[in-house]
Amino acid sequence: MQKIVMDTNEFIFSILSARSYSAEIMHMVLSERITLYVSKGILHEYERVLAYEKFKLPASKREKVLCDIRELCVMAYPRQSSIAIRDEDDRIFYDTATQSGAILITSDKDLLVLGKSFIMTSEEYMTIYRAQSQQ
């Protein structure tokens, strides 16, 4: 089964926009067609950002989403890498993906600029996934 790591923006977008590539990816996670890898730091970040007032998500919805993720995800325990990353807050996503052998789904330019083949946007991921599924 294919492994992914979703950065926080993609994770939040998957909840807020039902017709997005991110939502489609999350649906595949929830239907167990792909596996989401997280770390304690990533789960903490998801939880922190879900609580932002601007998203207006009721506590019950936030708890359900986090409960679903905790049940289905695989917990990773990455060591900190030495790669130069502009935004240190992004390191946990990079390290979790590299050390889990997962694809990192992101729209963050600080990660995309690294030019690694395993770092891609949700649209790029879905294009590749669909092409592989048709083979």
pLDDT of residue 118: 97
**Higher-pLDDT residue of 121, 133:** 121
* CATH dotted code for 2-133: 3.40.50.1010
Eight-state DSSP code of residue 121: -
Q: Is the pLDDT of residue 134 over 90?
A: no
- Per-residue pLDDT tens over the stretch 91-130: 999 999 999 999 999 999 999 999 999 999 999 999 999 9
| Domain boundaries defined on the chain | 2-133
Note the pTM of the prediction, 2 decimals: 0.94
